[in-house]
Amino acid sequence: MEIPYTVDAHPETGLHNSKIGIWLFLASEVMLFGGLFSAYILLRTGSLPGVWPLGSDILSVPIGTFNTLVLIISSVTMVMSWASLKMNDFSKYKLYMGTTILLGSLFLVIKIFYEYIPKFSHHHFPSTDTFYAIYFTLTGLHGLHVLGGILVNLYFWGPGSKLWKTEPERFSNRIEVAGLYWHFVDLVWIFLFPTLYLL
């Protein structure tokens, strides 16, 4: 027996399996980052007056803003790659998906070489104080999510795209699911950026 509704939508829920799966996964991710955000709130409100620094005094707002734009553009190209598949344009898909991967990598490169490494060379480590601790932990975990997204996207850009020839419907479903994850990572950054850099 085949597993039903891997491609087609279930008549009652109107969804195929992997769409439910990814949203459940994202729900758990919400709770994961939610736990970290509440840790941030508690540590900040619990800190001695005047101890908690202003993010913009320590972190580079221009770099952060630029990186925010990079991620937003990558979200647009991600959704465009899915739309291209829906319009049966595989070469455009390749182009947009490739751009998404490059933008994601650019984000990480900037993060590591223009933010982390300069901080380390000035002897600012997670152990320095609670602000750095939460900054490195939150952005680090977010960075790992970006990396995971890049790897998944790379797979669908390269070997995984063979599925397009045999099961186009299923392939574009997969891209939609990968896209949902990628947008979520973008969404987390949209909250992380003001929290850490501006407040």
Within 101-160, which residues bind other proteins (CB under 8 A)?
125-130, 133-134, 136-137, 141
Structure tokens at 99: 């751009």
Inter-residue contact 178 to 153 (CB < 8 Å): yes
Size (the chain), residues: 199
User: What is the nearest approach in angstroms of other proteins to the Cβ of residue 105?
Assistant: 20
- Residue whose structure tokens are 């990572």: 185
Which of 13, 113, 120, 148 is in the footprint of other proteins by CB under 8 A?
A: 13
Q: State the Cα–Cα distance between residues 7 and 80, nearest whole angstrom.
A: 21
Q: How far is the CB of 195 from other proteins (least distance, A)?
A: 8
Q: Does 58 bind other proteins (CB under 8 A)?
A: no
* 88 lies in the binding site for other proteins (CB under 8 A): yes
Largest CA distance in the chain: 65
User: Considering the rule CB under 8 A, would residue 75 count as an interface residue with other proteins?
Assistant: yes
Judged by CB, which is closer to other proteins: 10, or 162? 10
Residue 94 or 176: the one with the smaller Cβ distance to other proteins is: 176
Q: Report, in Å, the least distance between residue 125 CB and other proteins.
A: 7
Cα–Cα nearest to 190, from 68, 77, 108:
68
Q: Cα–Cα distance between 13 and 10 in angstroms, integer?
A: 6
Question: Which C-beta is closer to other proteins: that of 158 or that of 194?
Answer: 194
Interaction between residue 184 and other proteins (CB under 8 A): yes
Tokens of 97: 């998906």
